[in-house]
Amino acid sequence: MSYHDGLMLRRTCAIAAFAICSAFMPSVCAETGYDAWLRYAPLDPAAAKQYARLPVAVFVSSGSPVLESAQAELVRGVRGMLGKTLHVESRMPAGDAIVLATFDALAELGLSAPPEPVEGTYLLKAVERKGSSMLLIAGAGDRGILYGVFAFLRRIATGRGIEHLDEQESPYAPVRWTNEWDNLDGSIERGYAGRSIFFDGGQVVPDLTRALDYARLLASIGINGCTVNSVNTDPRTLTSPFILELARIADVFRPWGVRLSMAIDFSSPKSIGGLDTFDPLDPQVAAWWKQKADEIYRAIPDLAGFVLKADSEGRLGPSAYSRSHADAANVLARALKPHGGLLFYRAFVYDHHMDWRNPKNDRARAAYDSFHPLDGQFDDNVVLQIKHGPIDFQVREPVSPLLGALEHTNEAIELQITQEYTGQQRHLCYLVPMWKEVLDFDLHASGQVTYVKDLVSGRTFHRPAGGFVGVANVGLDANWLGHDLAMANLYGFGRLAFDPNLSPREIAEEWTRMTFGNDAPVVETIVSLLMESWPAYENYTGPLGAGTLTDIIQAHYGPGIESSERNGWGQWHRAGADGIGMDRTVATGTGFIGQYWPEAARLYESLENCPDDLLLFMHHVPWTHLLHSGKTVIQHIYDSHYDGAARVQTFPERWQELKGRIDEPRYEAVLAKFEYQAGHAIVWRDAVCDWFFRTSGIPDAQGRVGHHPGRVEAESMTLDGYTVEPVTPWETASGGKAISCLRPACTATFRFEGKSGTYDIAVQYFDENAGVARYKLIVAGKMAAEWLANDTLPSDQPNGHTSTRKSVRGILLHAGDEIRIEAKPDAKDHADIDYVELTPARR
């Protein structure tokens, strides 16, 4: 569905919802996901009752674009959920009222403000005043009021009372930003939900409605900054005409209290500025940056700052002139300083041409080795932006030791909302529990209790700036992230950045209630699916801290176990005949563990202490090494992959229990995603288990690996037109082979030889991004299913990215029945098939 179709549908729905829902019937009206958690769907009458005494008069003590948004949002939310129209009064009403006021204005109302509140703090309070009830939504600054309004509406949407309301919240840290990796041509690096909402064809898009609506979503969870262009930025970003275009985005962000920031290219003084150098210590270069910053602030007076990726993955940086990262950061920070801007310097700096033969080389060391020696050399408006783990957003990593190694430098933690290594929004993977573990980790900096959340927020070392950055990469898909349930990650990022003491379950529940309503089975099911999803994903994709065993060179999506070895990218797991894991100990390994403060290092240095889930990140061990769990490493790998895949087989069935309780379009869309995920988890399971079996030579004690009852390999069928081809990498096809149709049409046939009964039939085929092949499944002469291979998976070859399962359930089979697949290839999609699997019907 296009954006405009989505909007139309949303509007139709809104009108219909009003007609039907004015009678306060539970709404299962068609939705696109566009409204995300801000749907304001009508509450059922019983739940609405507790808000019956909500005043209808609203008074706002002053005016500003942010306050206008706050007031309009309040009216919109109350009207949607309670069917009540609020009246905005220009003077303080004599009777009951909802009052929106800054803390500064509270004295005029005879009320006292909290002492020294940080910007964005809000207070919700029920006050009796001169015999009338006043519901106060007060805040430190206009943003505080806006956040207060959203918090108030959240209470109503989740059915919490407002009787004796007295809630005060302050944002945990000043920096709560998203980064978007959007390119000026409209593509998005590691974006999985369509094209950019900001750019197209080298320009800012003419209609910025989508950007405005995004800012509203961000504001509702307390996000106050957004970098709109990719850190792999185009130098044209800083040209004068483009700055004026960016100013249009800043204009639509502003009413929601979201400040624009931009990623910049370090070589700009030379590439677009006409200088013959970009040496940060050259006075001409400093002057160029200063004049550029002045020009930008004339167009965007509230620009939040710059983000810089330098000397990383081919980006130019200070090393070109043998200057330090501090030299580079400071020249920019000084240009921003007079305007109050921040310079985010990314610590994601490593050598991607490292010699893999040297066992002492270690990419995980890079950020600490590059930046720890510079602590104290960065200006006060520089923030080091540090990925949460030392490698790169893997399904499991230890906390980056650099986060605990900077006492005199501002820092922000970079988390990834877009699921680059965690299923790319085709798999459900609720990341909030992972982030929470990271934020609650005690790095023991200076021997003290120092949780990551306190280090990054600047609380530990009393830093003036710091906080949380989430790489979001929303796109033009109507539901923003491609998978309706993936929005729990965007929501959860904002909620944790505002209050990292919230629990992942609380966040999941709050998000579910707002996104799908308060129906108990809906809430229970969705919360449990969310909570199970990261452990399940970890189980079927990556064992014991070895990383996500994905193809790390290309798509970062399907299995590609050996792709991390024998190259310079440094994501090595070093699996071989003798065992697996990176030895990062101080005693015999790369010394990475020595980058932690001693109390944290002690957790990892010895095999006895090292937690199982990070064992292979820290140690190289034999396949038969016994884990704390009592299992051998190899048996754990087999078991966890079978467990993880089995867990997600339950997802579609559990979702189906919600039919009729969720609007049809979102119900169907999520069901399709779950069906796909269940199939792809089996691809993962088999690829990983087969590869580790071949490498270790140790069979599965439970006899599952390599034995697949009911599976008929395509290469063993009677083929007409099809030819047998090897698949690369071999482990991504059952038996390493598939059949490929190089003629206009082909068939593959076999006879069912099992016991008569009802079966589920799974056809494992490859849906390449090179054409749209057609398939027919014919059982005993009758059409059982017909489908197109028209997904847009990230490869044009048969492999772990494209291997896809078509499941046809409840087919009656008699011994001797013929099962035939008829296929028509299209362009370079050769209608490849891996196998067919028959299992006694499950549902």
Binding site for ligand GCW (CB under 6 A): 181, 189-190, 230-232, 309, 348, 392-393, 420
Distance between CA atoms of residues 596 and 400, nearest Å: 9
What 3 state SS string does 482-498 have?
CCHHHHHHHHHHHHHHH
Which tokens hold the place of 173? 């840290």
Q: Which of 392, 551, 686, 713 is catalytic?
A: 392
Q: Which residue number, 221 or 231, has a Cβ lying nearer to ligand GCW?
A: 231
Q: To the nearest whole angstrom, how small is the minimum distance from the Cβ of residue 436 to ligand GCW?
A: 22
- The whole-angstrom separation of Cα 472 and Cα 490 is 7
Minimum CB separation from ligand GCW for residue 322, in Å?
23
Nearer to ligand GCW, 183 or 460 (CB): 183
Which CB sits closer to ligand GCW, 548 or 695? 548
**Residue with smaller CB distance to ligand GCW, 34 or 393:** 393
- Angle separating helix axes 209-220 and 240-253, nearest 10 degrees: 50
Degrees (nearest 5) of the Cα angle 109, 90, 148?
A: 60
CA pair distance 233, 440, nearest whole angstrom: 33
Minimum Å gap between C-beta 167 and ligand GCW is 37
DSSP 3-state assignment of 836?
strand
User: Minimum distance from CB of 414 to ligand GCW (Å)?
Assistant: 8
When the beta carbons of 471 and 678 are compared against ligand GCW, the nearer one is 471
Minimal distance, residue 178 CB to ligand GCW, in Å: 14
Q: Which is nearer to ligand GCW, 304 or 349 (CB)?
A: 349
Element containing residue 423 per DSSP (H, E): none
Name the residue type at position 10. Answer: R
Cβ-contact 438, 395 below 8 angstroms: no
The residue (of 364 and 523) whose beta carbon lies closer to ligand GCW is: 364
Identity at 322, one-letter amino acid code:
S
Q: Whose Cβ is closer to ligand GCW: residue 393's or residue 592's? A: 393
Residue whose CB is less far from ligand GCW, 189 or 826:
189
How many other C-beta atoms can be found within 10 angstroms of the C-beta atom of residue 653? 12
Q: How far apart are CA 583 and CA 592, in angstroms?
A: 9
Instruction: Classify burial at 127, counting beta carbons within 10 Å of its beta carbon; exposed 0-12, middle 13-18, buried 19 or more.
Output: middle
In the bound state with ligand GCW, the residue whose beta carbon lies nearer, of 451 and 557, is 557
d(CA 507, CA 431): 11
Q: Is 649 exposed, middle or buried (0-12, 13-18, 19+ CB in 10 A)?
A: middle
CA-based nearest residue to 761, from 651, 703, 842, 674: 842
Comparing every residue's Cβ against ligand GCW, the nearest one is: 392
The helix or strand, by DSSP H or E, that contains position 526, with its residue range, turns out to be: helix 520-541
Structure tokens at 510: 């709050």
Instruction: Write down the least CB distance from residue 315 to ligand GCW, Å.
Output: 8
313 is catalytic: yes
CB nearer ligand GCW, residue 419 or residue 696: 419
- Nearest approach, Cβ of residue 552 and ligand GCW (Å): 9
Running DSSP on this structure, what letter comes out for residue 43?
Answer: P
Q: How far is the CB of 392 from ligand GCW (least distance, A)?
A: 4
| Burial of 678 per CB tally in 10 Å (0-12, 13-18, 19+) | buried
CB of 392 or CB of 663, closer to ligand GCW:
392
Catalytic residue among 414, 420, 731, 822: 420
Residue 113: both structure tokens together: 């403000």
CB 488 within 8 A of CB 435: no
Q: Find the shortest distance in angstroms from Cβ 510 to ligand GCW.
A: 29
Let me know if 826 is exposed, middle or buried by CB neighbors in 10 A (0-12, 13-18, 19+): middle
Residue 283's Cβ-count burial label (10 Å; 0-12, 13-18, 19+) is exposed
- From 313, 355, 440, 818, the catalytic residue: 313
| Per-residue three-class SS string for 549-607 | CECCCCCCCCECHHHHCCCCCCCCCCCECCEECCCCCCCCCCCHHHHCCHHHHHHHHCC
CB contact set of 24 (below 8 Å; sequence gap of 6+): 42, 43, 44, 45, 48, 83
CB 563 to ligand GCW: min, Å: 13
C-alpha 475: how far from its chain's center?
Answer: 13
d(CA 269, CA 292): 9
Q: How far is the CB of 472 from ligand GCW (least distance, A)?
A: 13
> For residue 497, which of 843, 179, 803 has the smallest C-alpha distance?
179
420 classed as catalytic:
yes
By the 10 Å C-beta count (0-12 exposed, 13-18 middle, 19+ buried), 627 is classed as middle
Q: How far is the CB of 399 from ligand GCW (least distance, A)?
A: 17
DSSP letters spanning 198-251: SEETTEE-S--HHHHHHHHHHHHTT--EEEEE-SS--GGGGSHHHHHHHHHHHH
Nearer to ligand GCW, 189 or 200 (CB): 189
**CA distance linking residue 768 with residue 728, whole number of Å:** 14
Residue 811: CB minimum distance to ligand GCW, A = 42
List active site positions.
313, 392, 420
